[in-house]
Amino acid sequence: MKHAFPSKTEYQTRQATDVRRNWTSLSRDLDKHGTVEIRSNSHVVAYILSPEAHTALLQAATATTSTHADKIAALNAKFDAHLAGLKAPDLAKKLGKVLAGDGLPKTKRKAGSTF
């Protein structure tokens, strides 16, 4: 039985005292809902997952990790491409020309069709 992950407000909630006294009903709730929230004095103390919900959680985490790994690999490839451009043999000559200038264009610009 595959369980979807419920939103936090949809968890089956049980009191810790009830869980201690009636473990069998907790097992039934796990079979039915997949995840049970345990509370003590109105505070959440635990979430109990069924084996199916636990497996689904692990699969979702693995999928997210591999998606992030793919994005990081793409960023690494893009960075390596930029880095390779910086290692070009004529880069020093081009960069020297840029740095030697005063930053102003060498020819006079005229207003044209794009101005």
CA–CA separation, 18 and 72 (whole Å): 47
**CATH number of the domain where residue 40 is located:** 3.40.1620
Does any domain span residue 61? yes
Asked if residue 33 belongs to a domain, the reply is yes
Residue 69 lies in a domain: yes
85 neighbors 77 (Cβ within 8 angstroms): no
> Is 71 a domain residue?
yes
pLDDT digits (tens, 9 = 90+) for 57-99: 888 888 777 778 888 889 999 988 888 877 878 887 877 777 7
Residue 102 within any structural domain of the chain: no
- Same structural domain, 62 and 36: no
* Inside any domain, residue 100: no
Q: Are residues 80 and 65 in the same domain?
A: yes
CB atoms within 10 A of CB 3: 19
Report the predicted TM-score, pTM, of the whole model to 2 decimal places.
0.48
Boundaries of domain holding 44: 8-49
Q: What is the pLDDT of residues 4-47, one digit of tens each?
A: 555 555 677 888 888 888 888 888 888 888 888 889 888 888 88
19 neighbors 12 (Cβ within 8 angstroms): no
Q: Based on the structure, what is the number of domains in the chain?
A: 2
